[in-house]
Amino acid sequence: MNATIITIGDELLIGQTIDTNSAFIARQFNKIGVSIRQRMAIADDALEIVRWLEFGLKESDIIVFTGGLGPTKDDITKKTFAKYFGVDMKRDEDTYNHVKHIFESRNRPFLEINEQQADIPANGEVLFNNMGTAPGMWFEIDGKIVISLPGVPFEMEFLMTERVIPKIFAKQYATPLYYRHIQTASMGESFLATKIEDIENELPATVKLAYLPSIFRVNLRLSGHENDKTLIDSYFEKIKDTLADYIYGFTEQSVFEHLFYKLKQKNATISFAESCTGGFLANALTEFSGASDIFKGSYIVYSDAWKAQILGVDSHIIEKHSVYSPECVADMHRALLEKSGANYAIATSGIVEPTTHSNKVEAYIAVGNRERVLIKKIDLIYNRSKNKEAIAISACFYLLKEFFGE
């Protein structure tokens, strides 16, 4: 099966709101083997909604709309659908009682405009929305499926995962795909492609290999239908053995999440001494619930003076070698372990963009524990913010590879 995704809202067209809904929907469909034919954003306009509804009905098996289901006059999706299908509106009592309860529990007046949230076109089926007042809608038209979801992201996500996907499975419209992921870092996709060229040439048409590059890393994804599981697993093992030196994980987890869970498993702690990364590492690790169990803290020692005065770096090392040196990050690492008491530490220092004093764009990282420290030079090619991310990713990657056996 294939799908068309249409997001409704003037705010999307002018860039006031970023369309994350279509990306989420596409990912959910991809997991069950529904391919995406096209994605587009359109205005809050009845003619546009009808135009793209008709287009979707001709081109796709499933057409998903998000947006335009609120109570105000600019929310016209339901009325447009009812007019197009030539039906009246019907009231869903479960939705009505749900919406009424929401307003009464918040001591807010339950107005007629709010009551109308429970109305949908008579030929539609309600997708009950526990997360909000606007229900989703499901229509079946001449063998095609039309789905209308709220534009509020967390409501749309709930309805996709809890209502739409289970319903598609229940009607046997789709079968799940099977995936294997290989997360790599430190080498670009062209290098990886050369390394596994022979394996890729062997792949049958039913097994797909995708390269998903990002800053300093590439996710390789093998996919096919579940009946190809054994075949996919065999190619996964071949690629894994060939790229062993560049792999840090086998899930969709980021390198930060992977490091977080490895530290949790080992009941180990970590701390950071950040100069050029400016707190990027600390922010990345504290995105995960339970970070306080493994994260001691971070020293953001951006200036030369703070490296010596606050962290305790030997000032003679800074004077002799500068702060942009392997000697400096090594001593930052030493001082950090002494001050924090953590089991592992990462130190970063470098130049993330050209300056009036230097055209160098490079960084040094120190990763390790009390027994051993690994020093690496990182050559940078991105802009300032992307370079900070690249340094942080590379530091976590080398820590995982050298000290966690990944």
Band (pLDDT 50/70/90 cuts) for residue 337 is: very high
Q: Which CATH number fits the domain that encloses residue 394?
A: 3.90.950.20
Q: Considering the domain boundaries, does residue 56 fall inside one?
A: yes
Q: Are 224 and 208 in contact (CB under 8 A)?
A: yes
Q: Are residues 147 and 16 in the same domain?
A: yes
What is the pLDDT confidence band of residue 396, given thresholds at 50, 70 and 90? very high
* pLDDT for the residue 36: 92
Pair 136, 221 in one domain: no
283, part of any domain: yes
Q: Are residues 9 and 78 in the same domain?
A: yes
Do 166 and 215 lie in one domain? The reply is: no
Mean pLDDT, the chain, integer: 93
**Gyration radius (Cα) of the chain, Å:** 27
CA-based max dimension of the chain: 83
Is the pTM of the predicted complex or chain greater than 0.85? Answer: no
Give the span between the Cα atoms of 373 and 334, in whole angstroms: 9
Tally of structural domains, the chain: 3
pLDDT of residue 281: 98
Q: Per residue in 192-250, pLDDT tens?
A: 999 999 999 999 999 999 999 988 899 999 998 888 999 999 999 999 999 999 999 89
Q: Are residues 111 and 64 in the same domain?
A: yes
> How far is the C-alpha of 401 from the C-alpha of 200, rounded, in Å?
25
* pLDDT score of 406: 57
Given a cut of 90, is residue 275 above it in pLDDT? yes
Of 170, 201, 229, the position where a domain reaches its end is: 170
Residue 179 is assigned to a structural domain of this protein: no
Evaluate whether 376 touches 398 at the Cβ level (below 8 Å).
yes
Q: What is the pLDDT of residues 264-273, one digit of tens each?
A: 999 999 999 9
Q: Is residue 344 assigned to a domain?
A: yes
pLDDT at 356 over 70: no
Confidence class of residue 359 from pLDDT cuts 50, 70 and 90? low
* Percent of the chain scoring above 70 in pLDDT: 98
Residue 226: CATH number of its domain: 3.30.70.2860
* Residue 274 near residue 349, CB atoms below 8 Å: no
Same domain for 368 and 398, yes or no, is yes
Instruction: Identify whether residues 165 and 227 lie together within a single domain.
Output: no
CA separation for the pair 324, 360 (Å, rounded): 10
Please give the Cα distance from 345 to 298 (Å, whole number): 10
Instruction: Give residue-wise pLDDT tens across range 168-193.
Output: 988 777 667 889 999 999 888 999 99
Do 328 and 301 form a contact (C-beta atoms < 8 A)?
A: no
Instruction: For residues 125 and 240, state if they share a domain.
Output: no
Q: Is residue 181 a part of any domain in this protein?
A: no
Q: DSSP string of 84-135? A: HHT--EEE-HHHHHHHHHHHHHTT----HHHHGGGEEETT-EEE--TTSSSP
Asked whether residue 293 is assigned to any structural domain, the reply reads: yes
Inside any domain, residue 180:
no
Specify whether 219 is located in the same domain as 160.
no
Last residue of a domain, one of 170, 201, 226: 170
Name the band, by pLDDT with cuts 50, 70 and 90, for residue 30. Answer: confident
The residues near 382 (Cβ < 8 Å, ≥ 6 apart) are 215, 389, 390
To the nearest whole percent, how much of the chain has pLDDT over 90?
82
Domain around 208: 188-249
Same domain, 218 and 336: no
360-384 pLDDT, tens digit per residue, is 789 999 999 999 999 999 998 888 9
Per-residue pLDDT, 156: 96
CATH number, position 94: 3.40.980.10
